[in-house]
Amino acid sequence: MNRMVKDELKFIIPCVAIADIAVYLISFIFKGFNYDVILGLLLGSATLVFNLVILGGDVELAFKRFAVDKNEKRVKRKMASSYAVRSIIVAVAIFISLVSDLFDTIGVLIPFLYVKPIYFIKSIYSDKKEGK
């Protein structure tokens, strides 16, 4: 795993943890203490982070392959197959939550909504640091 992926993980993992805590506290108001929501959030968050690791590794590999052979179609196929694998991983996590009473399905799904708001907030702060 390259340094850039590690840096992104160092940024996103605490953000995901904070978002999980916030979501759980909100669900606590409506549902009370509920371990299946906690487990659902953990499964969804772990799946999200795992998908980001796979994505980072595959993007790095795609750049290396393109630098070597300049075959754009091959790189696009690799990224498409990576997308399919990551989608299957998400589907498996959702399926597990549907068939098991241990995981709240909504709790599994919510972490996948974190990425865009997290990076939106990051872009606002990075723009302010750069003086834009």
> 62-114, pLDDT tens digit by residue?
888 778 888 788 888 888 999 999 999 999 999 999 999 999 999 999 999 99
Q: How many domains does the chain have?
A: 1
Would you place residue 130 in the very low, low, confident or very high pLDDT band (cuts 50, 70, 90)? low
Q: How many CB atoms lie within 10 A of CB 78?
A: 17
pLDDT at 42: 97
> 36-50, pLDDT tens digit by residue?
999 999 999 999 999
Report d(CA 38, CA 129) in Å as an integer. Answer: 35
pLDDT at 122: 85
- Please check whether residue 95 lies inside any domain of the structure: yes
Any residues with CB less than 8 A from the CB of 23 and at least 6 apart, and which? Answer: 41, 107, 110
Would you place residue 61 in the very low, low, confident or very high pLDDT band (cuts 50, 70, 90)? confident
Does the pLDDT at position 132 exceed 80? no
The mean pLDDT value for 19-41 works out to 93
pLDDT at 3: 86
- Please check whether residue 129 lies inside any domain of the structure: no
Backbone angles phi, psi at 32, to 5 degrees: 75, -170
Would you place residue 129 in the very low, low, confident or very high pLDDT band (cuts 50, 70, 90)? low
pLDDT at 66: 78
- Please check whether residue 132 lies inside any domain of the structure: no
Domain that holds residue 97: 3-114
- Please check whether residue 8 lies inside any domain of the structure: yes
Report d(CA 103, CA 100) in Å as an integer. Answer: 6
- Please check whether residue 11 lies inside any domain of the structure: yes
Would you place residue 57 in the very low, low, confident or very high pLDDT band (cuts 50, 70, 90)? confident
- Please check whether residue 121 lies inside any domain of the structure: no
Q: 1: closest CA among 63, 72, 61, 83?
A: 61
Maximum Cα–Cα distance for the chain, whole Å? 57
- Please check whether residue 126 lies inside any domain of the structure: no
- Please check whether residue 125 lies inside any domain of the structure: no
